Structure 1
Amino acid sequence: MGMFSIATQHVRFAIKLACAIVLALFVGFHFQLETPRWAVLTAAIVAAGPAFAAGGEPWSGAIRYRGMLRIIGTFIGCIAALTIIILMIRAPLLMVLVCCIWAGFCTWVSSLVRVENSYAWGLAGYTALIIVITIQTAPLLTPQFAVERCSEIVIGIVCAIVADLLFSPRSIKQVIDLELDNLLVEQYRLMQLCIQHGDSEQLDAAWGALVRRTAALEGMRGNLLMESSRWSRAGRRLKALNTVSLTLITQACETYIMQNTRPELVNDTWREIFAVPVENAQDVHKQLKRIRRLLVWTGERDTPVTVYSWVAAATRYLLLKRGVVGNTKISAVEEEILQGEVLVRLDSAERHHAMVNFWRTTLSCILGTLFWLWTGWTSGSGAMVMIAVVTSLAMRLPNPRMVAIDFLYGTLAALPLGALFFLVIIPSTQQSMLLLCISLAVLAFFIGIEVQKRQIGSLGALASTINIIVLDNPMTFHFSQFLDSALGQLVGCSLALMVILLVRDNSRTRTGRVLLNQFVFAAVSAMTTNVARRKENHLPALYQQLFLLLNKFPGDVAKFRLALTLIIAHQRLRDAPVPINDDLSAFHRQLRQTADRVIAAGNDDKRRACFTELLEQLDVYQEKLRYWQASPQVTEPVHRLVGMLHKYQHALTTR
């Protein structure tokens, strides 16, 4: 049944893609556009891109969102191109070089912004380059070309959206409802494992899987909000549920860690009640009722603080989950939960990676320019455009080399496919619009099936084939022009791949060290008497950085444990009753400044010196806490944090 459903979805999306391409082709020729190819190409990329990323039919709203990003990126690119041309029209070479730098700048920005918005900046970079290159022979036609380019792209996007709406867009709401139940069950099982103080490797696998599932649920929230405005209430609840789910993970893991030194923390009563197995969300709900009744009898003082916090978070989870499933009006209790804390965003830890991406894009585009000028090849401009497209879109992805190889395979596959259409199919069908549409629909259908399987080269083949076959108005058939265009694409992809291989990305280790130091800064900054600062919720941002660490260093358990322990320290210190006085407040600011210098240090020696200074200040801080008679709720987590920083000093200061 599941395989049949997947096959149905694959066929449905293939039909959707074919419909989008045919609709764009028909509208382009009906309204006598000069280059309907751009509308068709845009419809194909906007529809197929999300399917390739998702590995199947994209959720409802994904195509619309990608279309809006493409419009935004195109308009930014057109404005940038017009500005560059107006300022540098008298120096064509300088104009092209500045445009190469602009493409690199957009890639740099796209590497720092949220992944879902990076597509717009990548487009802004290569759109400007396309316009500047295309108008070299007729610069006075720049405004007209920019308007035509935007119009054709908007038509292609509208066609892709219409096709998506016609063929039953796939809603993600039912998947979210099911995942909320499954996530609750896994949260309870993680707490069971931590209460029983089971195998550490099993624990690592359990909390790592939960972090990934929570991050996936947050991604589903974005898809749900793209789907329709009627899910806005559910979206607010899901945003809060993300924090609640991360809180559950943190409290469970802290329960495990605290038992390493204090095994008596969890008594036999709690071990017995958490030993009951659960199969579904209803079982968890029943267990939580039993636990809450037990809490009434034992009271907060006789309950481990992590267990008490975990039960409170699980109760909030159940309340918000019911609201998401029913999409009901937000109650006063829910509103209090939703507005309880201010979310904080951390600075990106991938600044060095972003700079590598800048140089990769800029150097590859400049190399393409030199190749174009040196050879004088008419399709050198096409090679430059392909370089910009590949580098701009590949840099933000985890494996740019594989993206470049995918485009290279796609351009190779486009040679025979394009030749078949250019030499046989299109000349035979140009007198019949119906036959032309049918031939392109068949091509789109079969490639649409392969795109959903993430077949290497499939997306590149679709875009490259549409780009080299003649879909202009009027149609002309010059084989030399076709061959030049096809070879230009191939050369451009090869040059882009060569630059990606030569300009090595050595930022992985540095990014990991910056991420760990950001966790240290978060733990140190949690020691504050400022009421507004204590209300700031760093947890989603910290776990987002932890998720990045998981992706950068798969299998490095030591790094994950250190990061998780620092997150736990942050949460414990955030809730600790630090004595309020001017002496401690001033020292808190000094600690934050020193921790910030550790992150900003440019070399290992300076970083070690700043870190040593931080450790010395923390020793002084512990003395101050004893002088001001701070409670064990403050002194114990600070002591654990200082001990941890001493133990992992080498890992936190050396690349």
Structure 2
Amino acid sequence: MGILSIAPQHVRFAIKLATAIVLALFVGFHFQLETPRWAVLTAAIVAAGPAFAAGGEPWSGAIRYRGMLRIVGTFIGCIAALVIIISMIRAPVVMLMVCCIWAGFCTWISSLVKVENSYAWGLAGYTALIIVITIQTAPLSTPQFAVERCSEIVIGIFCAIVADLLFSPRSIKREIDRELDSLLVAQFQLMQLCINHGDSEALDKAWGALVRRTTALEGMRTNLKIESSRWARANRRLKALNTVSLTMITQACETWLIQNSRPEAIAPEYRELFAEPVETAADVHKRLKFMRRVMAWTGEHDTPVTIYSWIGAATRYLLLKRGVITNAKISAVEEEVLSGEVVVRPVSAERHHAMINFWRTTVSCLLGALFWLWTGWTSGSGAMVMIAVVTALAMRLPNPRMVALDFVYGMLAALPLGAFYFLVLIPATQQSMLLLCISLALLGFFIGVEVQKRRLGSMGALAGTINIIVLDNPMTFHFSQFLDSALGQLVGCMLAMMVILVIRDNSQAQTGRTLLNQFVSAAVSSLTTNKARRRENHLPALYQQLFLLLNKFPGDVAKFRLALNLIIAHQRLREVPIPLNADLSAFHRQLRNTADRVIAARSVDKRRQTFKQLLDELDIYQEKLRVWEAPLQVTEPVKRLTTMLHKYQHALTDR
């Protein structure tokens, strides 16, 4: 962490982190807080966490949002701790065990909710544990301690937000505007590739990149939403643009797919529409104007349905993009586009993964409690807290083992670093608030640089160092207490890592199969004549699940293609004119129930049996469509879906 290694783009956030720490320290001592350490630690974690996740200075609003999550999680944890203490104060051991189960429960919930909100639930778990442990090690008034803890945390969060505002936080709006133009060009180029029926590997690479970029744009929208209320109109448009972009990807890939069985489906004159290369969004705009004139002349029925749908989606994209860039008042045409469909939220496919996370956190906390009670070690309580912190924060991330390793490295680095502050700097500067602030500002500055580089151990070193140096009021210096605290942190992190390594996460295969069966269920559920159900937009949820599949199985092209084909089937069946009659409507309900039972089946034999029933029912459904004289645009996608499910039934049912 030398000065020569500091890049200019890392300096501003490093100063911001140092300012947040100094502000929290100054306010804590100025208002005579009993433990200013909590305010300083909160300010450091709230400011540094988003920077570590982003790999650089976080966008405007990220620190504020994380701070609000920390407040919510702390209040939930404090309320839970009070309920547990009031109910079980006469049985301290049982109270501690229940608190360990509460920490596991919060980790379970955090594994099922949206990633950006999981931090609050993880925090709620170990906050309750901290309060319960503290009242067992020191005879404090529990409500008073909970109030003090909340107050110190709110002060730390306030200091982090003030530091963020002082140094002009980066707005993500300009990045969104640039990405909207670039994404439109990439969409047109994907359609060119699909129209020309290009190489399948090039197609996989192109659509995979577009799915990731569309998902990243949705993440940018979340940042813009929390940045300022003045972007409310742009946020509504970006939410609709997510669906429009995914629709364009789906229509392009379907254009490629239908040419596998019917090369003549796309006439040469339509290939010529996409023959000219494009470099900018303005080029795409010109081509779309020309295409709309051609369609007005040829008519909707003479234009291939995928091309017609793609051009319509691209037109909506241009309309909404212009509104996002200008942030102007929403017009009547835009309002019609924005309120046209009801977006359905995805159902989590990681329930087995969440249960493993529950057991990891619960078992590690129980082991820590038994270790503390058995040894009677004074810092066993600190080890327990670190166990809860590591498991709660690591479980939701893609690689919990690396997060635990980060904490272990960080605590190893915090031991000499904290000793230097405890033995040399703080005793020499405790009589001068200015010198104390300067010494901690230097710590925050240099670790702030390393956090932005995602240096392994940097976050752990920051939290661990602040936690073990004496920042209480009044400050006392007992080396044995410092050493116990430092070793307690390290032992807790090692125990948590050991549990993570021993209780293996074997949920990947089950999660992948559940995701694929959810795609099947979505495709089957689109077979309906109910107008309200047909207006439901499952596309964002399906692509969110596809993105999870990409992360769980990187490089497994077969799974991606199967998932994409099922999404295409869903989108096509959602738009076909299914004949309106009671016989088909009743059979639609039967198909949906069978598809849901496939997802719910726990054993392989039950899943195979139910899936076989679904295939038989689809065969019967095709016969019913023939009897009721359904048009080709209905029978063809149903036949394509049935053939696909017959072909991949083992991949969808086996372990």
Structure 1 match to 2:18 = 18
Q: Structure 2 length as normaliser, TM-score? A: 0.99
Structure 1 match to 2:207 = 207
Whether 2:247 is the aligned partner of 1:239: answer no
Q: Which moved more, 1:136-145 or 1:407-416?
A: 136-145
Q: Distance in 2 between matches of 1:566 and 1:579?
A: 22
1:42-441 → structure 2 map (5 Å cutoff): 42-138=42-138, 141-441=141-441
Q: Provide Cα deviations, 1:357-395, integer angstroms capped at 9, x if missing partner.
A: 000000000000010011100000000000000000000
Q: Distance in 1 between matches of 2:607 and 2:577?
A: 31
Write the letter of the residue equivalent to 1:181: D
Q: Provide Cα deviations, 1:514-537, integer angstroms capped at 9, x if missing partner.
A: 000000000000000111000000
Give the secondary-structure state (helix, strand or coil) at the position aligned to 1:579.
coil
Note the C-alpha offset of 1:9: 3.2
Give the secondary-structure state (helix, strand or coil) at the position aligned to 2:555.
coil
Give the secondary-structure state (helix, strand or coil) at the position aligned to 1:388.
helix
Q: Distance in 2 between matches of 1:119 and 1:523?
A: 33
Q: Provide Cα deviations, 1:320-363, integer angstroms capped at 9, x if missing partner.
A: 00000000000000000000000111210000000000000000
Structure 1 match to 2:452 = 452
Q: Distance in 1 between matches of 2:614 and 2:304?
A: 31
Structure 1 match to 2:3 = none
Structure 1 match to 2:576 = 576
Note the C-alpha offset of 1:7: 3.7
Q: Provide Cα deviations, 1:441-476, integer angstroms capped at 9, x if missing partner.
A: 001000000000000000100000000000000000
Note the C-alpha offset of 1:221: 0.3
Q: Distance in 2 between matches of 1:489 and 1:46?
A: 20
Structural RMSD (CA):
0.9
Q: Distance in 1 between matches of 2:642 and 2:270?
A: 30
Note the C-alpha offset of 1:137: 3.8
Give the secondary-structure state (helix, strand or coil) at the position aligned to 1:564.
helix
Give the secondary-structure state (helix, strand or coil) at the position aligned to 2:297.
helix
Q: Distance in 1 between matches of 2:336 and 2:272?
A: 34
Give the secondary-structure state (helix, strand or coil) at the position aligned to 1:491.
helix
Write the letter of the residue equivalent to 1:294: V
Q: Distance in 2 between matches of 1:470 and 1:145?
A: 19
Write the letter of the residue equivalent to 1:429: T
Write the letter of the residue equivalent to 1:555: G
Write the letter of the residue equivalent to 2:299: G
Q: Distance in 2 between matches of 1:252 and 1:297?
A: 22
Q: Distance in 2 between matches of 1:22 and 1:8?
A: 22
Q: Distance in 1 between matches of 2:301 and 2:73?
A: 57
Q: Distance in 1 between matches of 2:227 and 2:347?
A: 29
- Consecutive aligned runs of 4 or more in structure 1 exceeding 3 Å deviation: 6-9, 137-140
Distance 1:137 1:490, change over 3 A: closer
Structure 1 match to 2:613 = 613
Give the secondary-structure state (helix, strand or coil) at the position aligned to 1:136.
helix
Q: Provide Cα deviations, 1:397-417, integer angstroms capped at 9, x if missing partner.
A: 000000000000000000010
Structure 1 match to 2:32 = 32
Write the letter of the residue equivalent to 1:629: E
Note the C-alpha offset of 1:37: 0.1
Q: Distance in 1 between matches of 2:380 and 2:493?
A: 12
Q: Distance in 2 between matches of 1:560 and 1:209?
A: 12
Note the C-alpha offset of 1:39: 0.1
Q: Distance in 2 between matches of 1:7 and 1:289?
A: 46
Percentage identity across aligned positions? 82
Write the letter of the residue equivalent to 2:84: I
Structure 1 match to 2:514 = 514
Note the C-alpha offset of 1:139: 5.2
Write the letter of the residue equivalent to 1:336: E
Q: Distance in 1 between matches of 2:247 and 2:648?
A: 25
Write the letter of the residue equivalent to 1:582: A
Q: Distance in 1 between matches of 2:138 and 2:61?
A: 39
Q: Which moved more, 1:280-289 or 1:50-59?
A: 280-289
Note the C-alpha offset of 1:294: 1.3
Q: Distance in 1 between matches of 2:13 and 2:347?
A: 38
Write the letter of the residue equivalent to 1:584: L
Q: Distance in 1 between matches of 2:68 and 2:259?
A: 51
Q: Which moved more, 1:228-237 or 1:138-147?
A: 138-147
Structure 2 match to 1:3 = none
Q: Structure 1 length as normaliser, TM-score? A: 0.99
- Gapped regions of structure 2 (runs ≥ 5): 1-5
Structure 1 match to 2:640 = 640
Q: Distance in 1 between matches of 2:458 and 2:313?
A: 45
Write the letter of the residue equivalent to 2:451: V
Structure 2 match to 1:586 = 586
Write the letter of the residue equivalent to 2:409: Y
Note the C-alpha offset of 1:138: 4.4
Note the C-alpha offset of 1:292: 1.1
Q: Distance in 2 between matches of 1:523 and 1:450?
A: 47
Q: Distance in 2 between matches of 1:474 and 1:9?
A: 38
Structure 2 match to 1:443 = 443
Note the C-alpha offset of 1:140: 5.5
Q: Provide Cα deviations, 1:601-626, integer angstroms capped at 9, x if missing partner.
A: 00110000000000001111111111
Note the C-alpha offset of 1:303: 1.1
Note the C-alpha offset of 1:299: 1.5
Note the C-alpha offset of 1:309: 0.2
Write the letter of the residue equivalent to 1:369: A
- Gapped regions of structure 1 (runs ≥ 5): 1-5
Q: Distance in 1 between matches of 2:523 and 2:616?
A: 16
Give the secondary-structure state (helix, strand or coil) at the position aligned to 2:226.
helix
Write the letter of the residue equivalent to 1:449: V
Write the letter of the residue equivalent to 1:179: E
Q: Distance in 2 between matches of 1:10 and 1:73?
A: 30
Size of the aligned set, in residue pairs, is: 651
